[in-house]
Structures are given as C-alpha cells and as structure tokens.
C-alpha cells in the first residue's frame, strides 16, 4: 500500500512498489503546485502522456522512471496535480 502525506500545497507519495531506473531507486514522489513554466511542458499532451510528463516535471524524476510507476500511484499523483489546474 502507498502512504501519503498531504498538505494543501504538497503531496509526498510513497510508491506501492519502488521503481528502478538509471541506477536509481525511486520510493517516493514529492509533488507541489506547478509553475506556469512547468505546466507549459505538458500543455497540449493528452491522457497518460500528459500525466507522466506532469509528474516527471514536478517531482524531478525522469519520465522513463515515472512510466514504470503503477497505475494507482499515477492516478493519485495526477489527481493531486489536477486540483491546481481546475
């Protein structure tokens, strides 16, 4: 199970399964409100591609690593980010 620590401005999401990429092991994502410049990096993308890019940009994790994260954690992270864009 994942663990979450959330404030109004930040979500620390402990991944259900750690992800390895490029010699690094990722166990958590720290997400915050995106800046306009960050938002611009995934603007125009759709669906899962937009989610992967958004999470990668905000958490500072390579998109190839984010693509390996389980769907439930991706959904949790993308819903948190979406709250700032409504």
pLDDT tens readout for residues 38-70: 999 999 999 999 999 999 999 999 999 999 999
Please give the average per-residue pLDDT across 11-34, as a whole number: 97
Please give the backbone phi and psi of residue 25, each rounded to the nearest 5 degrees, phi first: -115, 125
Confidence band for 2, pLDDT divided at 50, 70 and 90 = low
The boundaries of the domain holding residue 7 are 3-83
pTM for the model: 0.90
Q: In the beta sheet, which residues pair with residue 35? A: none
Residue 62: count other Cβ atoms within 10 Å of its Cβ. Answer: 15
Alpha helices in 1-86 (DSSP H): 36-42, 47-59, 63-66, 71-83
For residue 56, the model assigns a pLDDT of: 98
Q: Which two tokens stand for residue 16?
A: 């259900």
Number of domains the chain is built from = 1
């Amino acid at each position: 199970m994942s663990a979450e620590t959330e404030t109004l401005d930040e979500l620390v999401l402990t991944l259900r399964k750690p992800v390895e990429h490029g010699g690094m092991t990722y166990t958590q994502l720290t997400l915050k409100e995106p800046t306009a410049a960050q938002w611009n990096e995934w603007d125009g993308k759709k669906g899962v591609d937009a989610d992967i890019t958004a999470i990668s940009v905000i958490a500072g994790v390579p998109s190839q690593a984010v693509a390996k994260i389980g769907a439930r954690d991706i959904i949790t992270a993308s819903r948190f980010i979406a709250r700032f864009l409504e």
